[in-house]
Amino acid sequence: MRVSTLGFQTDASNQMQSLEAEITQTQTELSTGIALQNAADNPAAMAQVTQLNAQISASKQYQTNGSALNSNLQIEEQSLSDATTTMQSARDLAVEANNAALTPSQRQDISTQLQQLLQQMVSTANSTDSNGNFLFSGETNTTQPFSQTGSSVAYNGSTSVSQVQISSNQRISSGDSGANVFMNIPGGNGTFTTAVGAANTGTATIDTGTVTNASQWVPDTYTITFTDATDYTVTNSAGPVTSGTYTSPGTITFNGISTTVTGTPAAGDTFTVAPAGTSSAFSTISNLITALNNPNLSSAQLTSQVGTTLEQMDAAVSNFSNVSASVGARINAITASGTTATASQTAMTGQVTSLQDVDYAAATTQLSTQELALQAAQESYASIAKMSLFSYLQ
Amino acid sequence: MADLLSTSVSGLIAFQNALSVTSNNVANVSTPGYSVETPDFTAEPGESTGVGYFGTGVQISNVTRSYSELLATQMRTSQSSYSNFNTYATTAAQVDNMLSDTTTGLSAQLQGFSNSLQTLANSPTLAASGTAVLSAAQSLTQSVQGYATQLSSIDQNVEGQITSNVQEINTLASNIATVNGQIAQISGSGQSPNSLLDQRDQLINQLSQYVSVNTATQSDGTLDVFVGNGQSLVTGGTAQTLTTIPNQYNPTQFDVGLTTVGTSGAPVDITGAISGGSLGGLIAVRSQVIDPTLNSLGQISVGIANIVNQQQAAGLTQSGTQGQPLFAVGGVQVSPSSNNTGTAQVTATRTNLSALTGDSYTLADNGGTWQLTDNTSQQTILMGGTGTAIDPFTAAGVSIVVNGTANSGDSYLVEPTATAAAGFSVLLTSPTQIASAAAVQTGAASANTGTGTIAAATVTDPTNANLLTPTSIVFTSPTQYQINGTAYTYTPGAAISSANGWTTSISGTPAAGDTFTVGSNAGNVGDNSNLFAMIDGLNANSLNGGTTSLTGATSSLLSQVGAQTQQAQSNASAQQAVNTSATDAVNNLSGVNLDEEAANMVKYQQAYQACAQMIQASTTMFNTLITALQTA
C-alpha cells in the first residue's frame, strides 16, 4: 500500500493535536474538580444536578424559616408560662378571698393585688417577638392586641394567624391569636355548663357533664325538672325533650350529652344545662375585683362569685396549657423537619457529587495514559520522519 | 532511420523529461491538492527493414496524473458532513456553555427568587426582606436578559459567518469557472493539463467545506458543479453568484439567494436548497438551536411574569392597595413580510399562558382566508374568532387582531415569546409595593351561635372594581342564606361565588341569624397568604397545557440544548474519522512519496547514463570506421 509523504506528516500532526486536546480536557477536569462542565457532556446528568441543587436550596430555606419561627415559638411558650403563673397567683388570692370573716380593708388588699396581677396579665398578653411584632395579635402583628380601659380589656388584633413553611409539604401556624388564648375561653366542659337551680330545696348536685355525640347536640337551654324524687323531665325552649326515672347516682342523657345527678332531689327541683359561654382571662380577674370592691356584697354572693371565678380561672389555665401544648408540638415539628432536611441535603449533595465531580483516581490514571500516548506519538514521528532514501543517495 | 545514435538520443531526451517530472513531483511534495505525475513511456514506432522490425527509441507520450474521482468524491462528501456538524456543534456549544452554570444559572436564580419570597413570608412587615425580594427579582431578570443578549450576539456572529461563507463560495465558484475555461481550451489537444486539473480539484475540495458538492464531467473536459440539493453553481466557464438576502420578516437575519447570470431580477431564495458544509450547519443551528432557545427562555419569562403579576393584583400591599405588576416582559413580535403588497396591520397579545408553545407561527392570507401555520411542524393551526378587535383570532395562547386590508399572499411572522426574555425586567422599586397580604378576608361574627366556619377567600378576578367591597352572608335558617337580598340554598363545603370577583365556601352547621363577612383585608399587614399563593403558583405546572412547571421547563431547555450539542459533537467526531480515512485514501493514491521519487530518480539517472554510454559507443564505432577508412 502506497503512503504519501505529505499524508503521513499531516496524519501524524493531527493525531498529536487530538492527543493534546484530550490531555487539555483531562487537565481542566482535574484542576476544576468537575467532570460535568457543560450539559453536552451528559445532558441528563446536568438536568438532574440543576434540579438537585434547586431542591437543596429550597430545603435550606425551609430550615431557615423553621429556625426563625422556632425562636418566636419559644418566646410564646415563655409568655404562656408567665400567664399561667399569674393566673395561678390570682387563683390563690381568690381562694383567700372566699372567707366571710374578711374585713373590708382586707378585701381591698386582695383586690389591689388582683389589680396588679391583671395588669401583669395584660402586659404578658402584649408581649413581642424578636422582630418587635406582637405575639398574640394574629395577622395584624404591628397592632397592640390588648388595651385596658378601667377594668375592661378589649382585643384589637385579628383572629387569623399567618403560616410559615417549614418543609416542602408543611405549613404551620406562626402563632396564636390573642382571642383564642385570652379572650374566648370556653366555660363548663367546653360545650355546655350545668347549674343547680337557685330555689332548689333538695340535696342533689349535678356534675359538669360530658359530650357523647357532638353531632347530636342542639345548643339550647335545657331544664331538668324533678317532679318527684324518682322522676324527671327534660324540656328546652321548643318543649319537652325526654323524661325518665332516677336513682342516685343517675345519669341523664339526651341530644348527645350526658350528665350525672347525685343525691336526693325534692319535687320541683330544677337543674339547667345551658350552652357554654366564653369568658376572658381578664374579665375573670376583673369581675372578682369589682365584687371585692363592692361594699354591699353579701358573703353568700361573694362565695357564689368566687365559685364562678375559680371555675373560670381553671378553664383559663387549662386553655393556656392546651395552647402551650400545640406550641410545643409545633416546635417539635420544626425540630423533626430540620433533622430530616439535614439528612436529605446530605443525601442530595452526595448525589450531585457523584454526578458531576471528577473521579480523581480514574482521571489521574487517564492523564498518565494520555501523556504516554502523546510521548510515543512524538518519539515515533521524530524517528520515522528522518528516514528518507535521499539521505542515502550520494 | 533506426540507428544507434538517434535511438539513444531519444532515450536521453525521454529520461531527461522523466527526471524533470520526478523533480516536479519532489518540488511539489507539500503542495496541497497536487497529484503525483507519472511519465508514460511509449516505444517509438518500429521501422521495417529487410531483416526485421527495428524499434526507433522511446518517447514520453503523456504525463499521467494519479487521480481517482471516486476517492475524491468520498473525501468531499465526508468533508462536507464533518464541516456541517462541526460548525453546528461549535455554535451550539456556545449556547450550551452559556446555560450550563449549575451555581448561578437560570434554575438557581429562580430558586433564589422563590427563597426570597419565603423569607418575606416569615415576616412580611420587615422592609429588609422586601428589599431582598426585589433584588432577587433583579438578579433573575438581569440573568435572563443577559442570556437574550448573548444569544443575540451569537446569532449576529452566525449571520456574519453566513455572509463570509457566501463570499468564499462565490470566489471559489468564479475561480472554478475560470479554470474550467482554461481546461476547455487545452483539452482539445489531447494532452491533460495536470496542474490546472489539480487546481480545479483543490478549489472544489475547498468548496465542499462550505456546502455539499456534486460534480458532473462534461465532454469538453469542464466540470459542472452543483451545491446543496442540486442547485447549479458552475456550468462550464460560467459561475452563478450567491448573495445574502435579508429574511423577509427579519432584516437582520440572512437567507441565501441566487442571482442567475444574465437576469436582472431579484435574487431567488435558495436557503432551503442549501445543505451540508459549514453554510448548511449555520443555517441549521440558527433555526434548531438559537431561535428555539430564545423562544423557550421567553416562555419561561412570560410564565414568571404572568404568575407573579396576577398574584400581585390579587393581593394587598402594606399600605392596603392592590399590588401593581412586579415584572415587565417583552410582548408578542409580529413581523410583516417585506413582500407584502396589502395595507393590513397585525397585532397580537398573549392571552393564555398554558397554551403557549416555544414555536413561531406564520399568518398568511390565502385567497382571502387567514391561515396560521406552525413553523416547526408546518401544521396548520385552527384559529377561533374573526380577527377583529372585538373578536380576535385565538390560537396557541395568543389573540391576533387584523386591521386594514391584506392581499392574497401577504404573510406575517408571529413570534409569541421570542422578544419576551430581552424585555424581562423589574418594575417595582420599593419593598412596600409587594402585595404580601390577601386582598379579601373572611370572618364569622362573634355573636354566631352555630358551628359554621368560613374558608379563606380566593380572588378570581383581580380587576373587578368591587373586589374590596364588604359583603355579608346572612343565614336565615340552617339551610338558607342571603347575600344582598338574594336567597341561596346552603350546601356545606360548596363554593360561594360573588359578582365581586372572589369565591369562598362555608362548612359546618350555621344557625339562623349567623352572619359571615367578606371584605377588604387592608390593615392585616402580617398576612402572608398572598406570598404563599405566589410561591405555589410559581411551583405549579403552569406551562404546556398544565404539564410542565417553570423549573421543569428550565431543566428541559438545558438538557435539550445539551443533547443537541452532544449529538452534533459526536456526529462531527464520527465524520472526522471518516474524513481522515477518505483523505488518507486520496493521499495514498495521489500524494508524492519521496522515497518513491528517489528510487525513480536513480532509475532514470541510470537509464540516462546507459543511453549516454550508448552514444559514447556509437561515437567510438564511428571513429573506428573513420580511422579505418583514413588508413586505407
User: Is pLDDT of B191 > 70?
Assistant: yes
User: Is pLDDT of B115 > 50?
Assistant: yes
User: Is pLDDT of B220 > 90?
Assistant: no
Count Cα atoms within 13 angstroms, Cβ side, for B128.
Answer: 2
Residue given cell 332531689 in the structure block: A265
Query: Are A50 and B595 within 8 A, CB to CB?
Result: no
Residues B448 and B514: beta-carbon distance below 8 Å? yes
Maximum Cα interatomic distance, chain B, rounded to a whole number of Å: 167
Inter-chain Cβ pairs, chain A and chain B, closer than 8 A: 191
Tell me: the pLDDT tens digits for B397-409? 999 999 998 899 9
| Residue of B82, B318, B587, B601 to mutate, testing the A interface (most A Cβ within 10 Å of its Cβ) | B587
Question: Does residue B588 sit at the A interface (CB-CB below 8 Å)?
Answer: yes
| CA distance to partner chain A, nearest, from residue B532 (Å) | 9
Average pLDDT over residues A123-150: 90
Cα separations in angstroms, B201 against B63, B81, B241, B280, B487: 18, 18, 20, 21, 92
| Residue of A18, A128, A139, A357 to mutate, testing the B interface (most B Cβ within 10 Å of its Cβ) | A139
Query: Are A356 and B110 within 8 A, CB to CB?
Result: no
Query: Are A50 and B556 within 8 A, CB to CB?
Result: no
Take residue B253 and report the three cell numbers written for it: 437575519
User: Is pLDDT of B618 > 60?
Assistant: yes
User: Is pLDDT of A56 > 50?
Assistant: yes
Question: Does residue A353 sit at the B interface (CB-CB below 8 Å)?
Answer: no
User: Is pLDDT of B307 > 50?
Assistant: yes
Compare all CA atoms of chain A with the CA of B112 and give the residue at the minimum distance.
Answer: A57
Average pLDDT over residues A40-46: 92
| Residue of A160, A220, A349 to mutate, testing the B interface (most B Cβ within 10 Å of its Cβ) | A160
Tell me: the pLDDT tens digits for B548-563? 999 999 999 999 999 9
Residues A258 and A251: beta-carbon distance below 8 Å? yes
Give the whole-number percent of chain A exceeding pLDDT 90.
48
Question: Which residues, numbered 464 to 493 in chain B, qualify as contacts with chain A under a Cβ-Cβ cut-off of 8 Å?
Answer: none
Residues B283 and B271: beta-carbon distance below 8 Å? yes
Residues B169 and B242: beta-carbon distance below 8 Å? yes
Q: How confident is the model at residue B632 (pLDDT cuts 50, 70, 90)?
A: low
Question: Which residues, numbered 43 to 102 in chain B, qualify as contacts with chain A under a Cβ-Cβ cut-off of 8 Å?
Answer: 92-93, 96-97, 99-100, 102
Closest CA to B309 of B424, B414, B399: B424
User: Is pLDDT of B414 > 90?
Assistant: yes
B393, containing H or E segment: strand B393-395
* Complex prediction ipTM: 0.84
Compare all CA atoms of chain A with the CA of B113 and give the residue at the minimum distance.
Answer: A58
| CA distance to partner chain A, nearest, from residue B560 (Å) | 7
Closest CA to B136 of B113, B110, B103, B106: B113
Query: Are B118 and A5 within 8 A, CB to CB?
Result: no
Q: How confident is the model at residue B259 (pLDDT cuts 50, 70, 90)?
A: confident
- Would you state the pLDDT for residue B417? 95
Question: Does residue B602 sit at the A interface (CB-CB below 8 Å)?
Answer: yes
Average pLDDT over residues A354-360: 91
User: Is pLDDT of A127 > 90?
Assistant: yes
User: Is pLDDT of A338 > 50?
Assistant: yes
Cα separations in angstroms, B19 against A219, B194, B363, B589, B611: 126, 17, 71, 21, 14
| CA distance to partner chain A, nearest, from residue B101 (Å) | 8
User: Is pLDDT of A251 > 80?
Assistant: yes
Cα separations in angstroms, A153 against A108, A115, A129, A137, A147: 21, 12, 22, 14, 6
Question: Does residue A28 sit at the B interface (CB-CB below 8 Å)?
Answer: no
Compare all CA atoms of chain A with the CA of B104 and give the residue at the minimum distance.
Answer: A50
| CA distance to partner chain B, nearest, from residue A119 (Å) | 25
| CA distance to partner chain B, nearest, from residue A113 (Å) | 32
Give dist(CA A260, CA A250) in Å, integer.
5
Query: Are A38 and B36 within 8 A, CB to CB?
Result: no
Query: Are A47 and B119 within 8 A, CB to CB?
Result: no
- Would you state the pLDDT for residue B261? 67
Query: Are B562 and A158 within 8 A, CB to CB?
Result: no
DSSP character string of B463-497: T-TTTTS-EEEEEEETTEEEETTEEEE--TT-EEE
Question: Does residue A237 sit at the B interface (CB-CB below 8 Å)?
Answer: no
- Would you state the pLDDT for residue A160? 85
CA angle B59-B62-B66, nearest 5°?
A: 135
Take residue B568 and report the three cell numbers written for it: 452534533
Q: A205-209, A227-231, A306-310, B291-295: which has the highest mean pLDDT? A: B291-295
| CA distance to partner chain A, nearest, from residue B347 (Å) | 37
Average pLDDT over residues B150-159: 96
Which residues of chain B lie closer than 8 angstroms to A143, CB-CB?
Answer: 523
User: Is pLDDT of A117 > 80?
Assistant: yes
Take residue A72 and report the three cell numbers written for it: 418566636
User: Is pLDDT of A394 > 80?
Assistant: no
Question: Does residue A337 sit at the B interface (CB-CB below 8 Å)?
Answer: no
Take residue B1 and report the three cell numbers written for it: 532511420
Take residue A85 and report the three cell numbers written for it: 403563673
| CA distance to partner chain B, nearest, from residue A47 (Å) | 5
Question: Does residue A37 sit at the B interface (CB-CB below 8 Å)?
Answer: yes
- Would you state the pLDDT for residue B262? 66
- Would you state the pLDDT for residue B1? 44
Is the pTM higher than 0.80? yes
Average pLDDT over residues B89-99: 95
Q: How confident is the model at residue B301 (pLDDT cuts 50, 70, 90)?
A: very high
Tell me: the pLDDT tens digits for B13-63? 999 999 999 999 999 998 888 999 999 999 988 888 888 888 889 999 889
- Would you state the pLDDT for residue B228? 87
